[in-house]
Structure 1
Amino acid sequence: MKYHSPCNLSAGVGLAIIICSAVFLLSCTGKAVTEAPPPKIEPPKPPPTMSFWLGSPERNFYGTGPWKDGQLKIVWEVKTGFISGRFHKDPWGGTSWPGQPSVEGDFVYFPSADGNTYCIRRDDGSVVWKFQAKDSMKATPVIVGDRIIDSGLDHHVYCLNKKDGTLIWDYETGFEVDGSVVVVDDKLYFGGEDHSLYCLTLADGKLVYKIPDVGSIEGSITYKDGRIYVSTEQFYLYCFNAADGKVIWKSLIGADSDSTPAVAGGLVYTAAEDGVVRAYNQEDGKLAWQYTTEGGHYGRGSESIGIWASPIFSDGKIYIGASDGYLHCLSADKGELIWRFKARGPIWGTAPVIDGRVVFGDKAGWIHMLSAEDGKEISEIKIGDNINSTPAVLDGKIYIGAFNGHLYCLEPDLSIPEPSPTVAPVIRKRRR
C-alpha cells in the first residue's frame, strides 16, 4: 500500500476546499472569482493660479483661501518707481486702475505705472526681472505657458518670456490698451481705446482680424462659450462671435462703461459712469434690470457718482463698488439691494469674493475685508493714499498695489489686536 504523508494529505484537502469554494461561487454568481482591482489613484491636480484678469477668460475665478483668523497685516511690500507723462502731470507709481497682479507658482507678476512689468517672488517680494515699456503699464499680465502678455499706455501689446522677461513679440495698436487680453485656443483677444476689437495669434502676434468703429474699449473683455462680451465708452454693450468678430447683438448702456462684463445664469452684468448697474439677457441683449447707486443718474457720468469697478457674481449675488463710497451687494436675478457697506473713500477697484469674504481697496488707501453674507467688516488696514487697483488672492494671501508706488502682500494674523469697530455696513430692504 502506498504511503501518503500527513503534509501531502493536508495539502490535497486544502486544495480541494479551495476548488470547491471557487466552483460554488462561480455557480452562485455566474462570474469567475478574481482579485479586486487596485484602487484608482487620481493624479494630483495642478495648483490654482491667477493667470488672467479675474482669474479666467470667463472672468469668474476670484482666488483661493483658506483664510487665517485675525486682522490684516502687511507681510512684505516692494517699492516701484514713478513716471510723469502726457496724461499724468503729477508722478504716477504703483498699480493703477485696473492693475490686478497675476500669481503662479512662486512668482507674482504685475503692471506698474512706472512703465515696467515686474516679476517678483511670492515669499519676500524680491524682484526677479522687470520689462521696461515706453509708458505706464496698466493691464493685468496674462500667463500662458512660458509667456506673459501685457499692455498699457504706449499703444503696444507685449509678449514676454516668463522666465526672464525678454521680448518675444509686440503688436502696435492705434492707442492705449488698458484692458487685459483673453487667450483661448492659441488666439489672443482684446479691445483698444482706438475703438477696435482685435484678434491676434499667440505664437507670433500676427493679426487675425480687427473690428473697427466699435467704440473706445478701456476695460477688459469677457470670453464665454465662443462669444466675446465688452462694454464701450460710446454707451454700448456688445456681444461678438469670437471666431470672426461679427456682432451678435449690441445694447445701449446709456453712459461710458469701463466695466468688464460678468456672465452668469443667462444674464450679462455691467456698470457705467452714470452710477448704474445693469443686467442684460445673454441671448438677445434685452435689459433685464438696472440698479442705481447713490447719486447715480442715467446718462450723466462723473467721477463723483460713476462706477469704474467690474461686477462680481458669487452665490447668486452681485458685488460692486462705486464712487459713492459704498460696496453694494445685489440679488443677481432682480438687482435688489441686499446690503451695502460704507468704505472710507470712493471704490474704483473690483471686489472679488473668496471663501465667503469680500476684499477690496478704496481711494482713501484702505483695504477692507467683509463677510460676503451680510457685509459686516472683518478687518481693514491702511496701506497707501489711493488704491484704484484690484486684489489678487491665492492661498489666503492678498496681493495689491497702491498709488504710492508699492505692491503689498497681506494676510490675516491673530497676533494683530482687533480694533474697535469704526465703520459699519448699512442694511436696507431689498429694492429695485
Structure 2
Amino acid sequence: MDDPVERGSTRLERRAYLSGLGAAATVGLAGCATLSASPPAYDRTQATFDPPERSYDETYSGGDVTMFRRGVRRLGYYPDAAVPDDPTVEWSHPINAVGHTAAKSSPRPTPDGEGIVVASDTGRMYGFDLDGERRWTAQTGATYLGIHGTPTIVEGTAIVGGYDGSMYAVDVETGDRVWRLSRSALDLSIAIGSSPAYWDGVLYFQTEHKHPASGRLWAVDAETGEPLWTDDRDIGGMPHPSPAIDPATERLVAGSNDGIVYAWAFPSLSFEWSFETGGEVKGTPPVYEGKTYVGSWDDSIYCLDLLDGTERWSFETDGIVMSNPGVDPERGVVYVGSGDGRVYALDAATGERRWSTGVGGTVLGSLTVTPGAILVGSYDTNLYALDPETGAIRWRVPNRGHVTSEPVPHDGRIYYAERADLRDYWNDDRETELVENGHVYCLGPGE
C-alpha cells in the first residue's frame, strides 16, 4: 500500500501545488524550510480507526498539547490568564499579505511555554521565542491563499492545513518538516481552513472540495500523518469551521457553509444529527454542559442540544454572526461578536442578553475569555479588552489591519495577528494594493 505521507529533510522541491485554486508560483524565502511535495495516493479503505478510551481532559493545556481555542471543547477560555491594565506593543513582525477575508491564523504557544508558532496567509509558518526573535521560517505549498487555520502542537510538532488542500507537520524547534499529507490522500481536497482537534493521538478536521462544493470530516494519525477514517457522507458547502469535541456527551460537532451543523458520536464517529440554520456557518461552535453554540449568517446565534440537535434557544443580532463564540464556564455566559459591530454577552442557559458593547466594526474572529477581560479584535483595526460583567471597554490597542485571529494570553502577554492593510480590496474597478503587511503582535504590561 502506498504511503501518502512523505518525511525527510528540510530541503525539498519548491513548487506550487494548487490543484484548482489557481496558478501561482511558490515564493522562495532565503534560509527557510520548503515543505512542498506530492506523495502518492493512499488507499483509505485499508485503514481502521479504534481510539482507546481515556479520562476526560478538559483543555489539554499545561501538558504536551496546545490547540485553537485552547482545547477540544473550543471554549476560548483561559482561567489563569492575567490581562494587563495598560498594555503596550512589545514586538510585532509582518506575516500576512493576502486579501482573503477568512479569519487569520492564531499564534499558539509551544507546550513548553518557551515559544510561539503562527502561520500566515502567504503559506509560511513561523517560530518565535517569547521576546520576538524569529527562530525559523518554513514555506509550505499553500502559496495561493496560504494558511488560515491555527496549528495544533503535539509535543514538538506543529500541525496545520493549507489552502492547497494538504496538511503540514513541522518541528517547533527548527521548522524542519516532520510529514506532509497531500490532497490526493484526502480525496482531492482543495483547501483546509479547519484547525485540527487532537484527542488520544488522532487529529480531527474538515476538508473542502469542489465539483460539487462539499466537505469531509477526517481522522488522521497525529504522529505519522496517516489517514485513519473519513465519513462517506459529503458535507455541503465547503466547510471552514473546526470541529469541537465533548466527550462528556460523546459528541463531535462541526458547521459548514451550507448553513448546517453536523454531529457525530464520539469516538465511534457514527453520524447522529444535523441542524439547519438560515445562513452559512463559518465559526467554530464551542460545546458546554451538553449544548453547542452556533453563529450563522442569518444574523443569529443558536444554542443546540448536543444529544439530539434540538434548538434550546436562539438570539438575533443586527448582522451576520461569523465569529467564534467564547464561553465562561464559571459565569455561565456565552460571548459572541457580530457583523453589526457589537459584542454580546448571553446567558448560556437561556440566551437572555446581559449586555452588548459596540467595538467600532465587524467582529469576524474569535473572542477570548479570561476572568478579568473579554479580548476581541475588530474591523476598526483595534484589539479590545471588555469587562466580562458589564461590557465596559477597559482598553483598546490600535493596529494596522483588521484584527481577526484569536487573541492568546500567555505568560502575562497577549499574542494575536491581523489582516494586511489593503487599498481598494472592495473596489472591483481598481486593482488591490498592499499598503502594509498584517503583523503578528505581542502585547505586554505597560510601564
The TM-score range, normalised by the shorter chain, is: 0.7 to 0.9
Deviation at 1:48, TM superposition (A): 6.9
TM-score (normalizing by structure 1)? 0.77
Deviation at 1:391, TM superposition (A): 0.8
- 2:391 and 2:180 mapped to 1: Cα distance? 43
Closer/same/farther in 2, CA of residues 382 and 186 from structure 1, 3 Å limit: same
1:68-88 Cα shifts (integer Å, max 9, x gaps):
6532211111123635xxxx5
Moved more, 177-186 or 240-249: 240-249
Does the Cα contact within 8 Å between 2:194 and 2:206 map onto a contact in 1? yes
Is 1:131 aligned to residue 138 of structure 2?
A: yes
- 1:307 and 1:61 mapped to 2: Cα distance? 17
Secondary structure in 1 matching 2:220: strand
Equivalent residue for 1:219? 241
Equivalent residue for 1:401? 417
Equivalent residue for 2:114? 106
* Correspondences of 1:90-105 after superposition (within 5 Å): 97-104=103-110, 105=113
1:338 is matched with which residue: 329, 332, 354? 354
Does the Cα contact within 8 Å between 2:76 and 2:369 map onto a contact in 1? no
Does the Cα contact within 8 Å between 1:209 and 1:244 map onto a contact in 2? no
Secondary structure in 2 matching 1:255: coil
Deviation at 1:370, TM superposition (A): 0.9
Amino acid at match of 1:210: T
Equivalent residue for 2:320? 306
* Correspondences of 1:62-81 after superposition (within 5 Å): 62-63=77-78, 65-67=80-82, 70-80=85-95
Counting matched residue pairs gives 350
1:202-222 Cα shifts (integer Å, max 9, x gaps):
222222111241222201110
Deviation at 1:336, TM superposition (A): 1.2
Is 1:259 aligned to residue 283 of structure 2?
A: yes
Does the Cα contact within 8 Å between 2:83 and 2:373 map onto a contact in 1? no
1:357 is matched with which residue: 373, 391, 408? 373
Equivalent residue for 2:126? 118
Secondary structure in 2 matching 1:80: strand
- 2:86 and 2:419 mapped to 1: Cα distance? 23
1:256-299 Cα shifts (integer Å, max 9, x gaps):
101111111221111111110000112111011000002xxxxx
Amino acid at match of 1:310: N
Amino acid at match of 2:88: K
Closer/same/farther in 2, CA of residues 118 and 378 from structure 1, 3 Å limit: same
Closer/same/farther in 2, CA of residues 230 and 316 from structure 1, 3 Å limit: same
Closer/same/farther in 2, CA of residues 113 and 342 from structure 1, 3 Å limit: same
Deviation at 1:395, TM superposition (A): 2.5
Does the Cα contact within 8 Å between 2:97 and 2:419 map onto a contact in 1? no
Q: Percent identity?
A: 23
Deviation at 1:244, TM superposition (A): 4.1
Amino acid at match of 1:346: T
- 1:183 and 1:361 mapped to 2: Cα distance? 26
Closer/same/farther in 2, CA of residues 208 and 244 from structure 1, 3 Å limit: farther
1:142 is matched with which residue: 139, 147, 152? 152
Secondary structure in 2 matching 1:108: strand
Residue ranges of structure 2 left out of the alignment (5+ in a row)? 1-59, 210-214, 421-437
TM-score (normalizing by structure 2)? 0.74
Does the Cα contact within 8 Å between 1:266 and 1:281 map onto a contact in 2? yes
Amino acid at match of 1:262: P
Does the Cα contact within 8 Å between 2:335 and 2:345 map onto a contact in 1? yes
Does the Cα contact within 8 Å between 2:251 and 2:307 map onto a contact in 1? no
* Correspondences of 1:244-323 after superposition (within 5 Å): 244-294=268-318, 305-314=319-328, 315-323=331-339
1:370-415 Cα shifts (integer Å, max 9, x gaps):
11011011111111221122211113311011123211111342x4
Bigger proportion of residues as helix? 1
1:181-213 Cα shifts (integer Å, max 9, x gaps):
011111111011221111111222222111241
Amino acid at match of 1:82: A
Closer/same/farther in 2, CA of residues 177 and 311 from structure 1, 3 Å limit: same
Does the Cα contact within 8 Å between 2:96 and 2:419 map onto a contact in 1? no
Deviation at 1:329, TM superposition (A): 0.6
Secondary structure in 1 matching 2:106: coil
Secondary structure in 2 matching 1:71: coil
Does the Cα contact within 8 Å between 1:153 and 1:176 map onto a contact in 2? yes
- 2:359 and 2:61 mapped to 1: Cα distance? 37
Equivalent residue for 1:183? 198
Closer/same/farther in 2, CA of residues 70 and 182 from structure 1, 3 Å limit: closer
Closer/same/farther in 2, CA of residues 412 and 275 from structure 1, 3 Å limit: farther
Closer/same/farther in 2, CA of residues 396 and 156 from structure 1, 3 Å limit: same
Does the Cα contact within 8 Å between 2:104 and 2:121 map onto a contact in 1? no
- 2:375 and 2:334 mapped to 1: Cα distance? 14
Does the Cα contact within 8 Å between 2:206 and 2:242 map onto a contact in 1? yes
Closer/same/farther in 2, CA of residues 69 and 393 from structure 1, 3 Å limit: closer
Equivalent residue for 1:57? 72
- 2:303 and 2:321 mapped to 1: Cα distance? 15
- 2:358 and 2:288 mapped to 1: Cα distance? 27
Equivalent residue for 2:225? 205
- 1:197 and 1:397 mapped to 2: Cα distance? 34
Closer/same/farther in 2, CA of residues 355 and 49 from structure 1, 3 Å limit: farther
Equivalent residue for 1:383? 399
Closer/same/farther in 2, CA of residues 61 and 390 from structure 1, 3 Å limit: closer
Does the Cα contact within 8 Å between 2:251 and 2:263 map onto a contact in 1? yes
Closer/same/farther in 2, CA of residues 61 and 274 from structure 1, 3 Å limit: closer
- 1:49 and 1:168 mapped to 2: Cα distance? 17
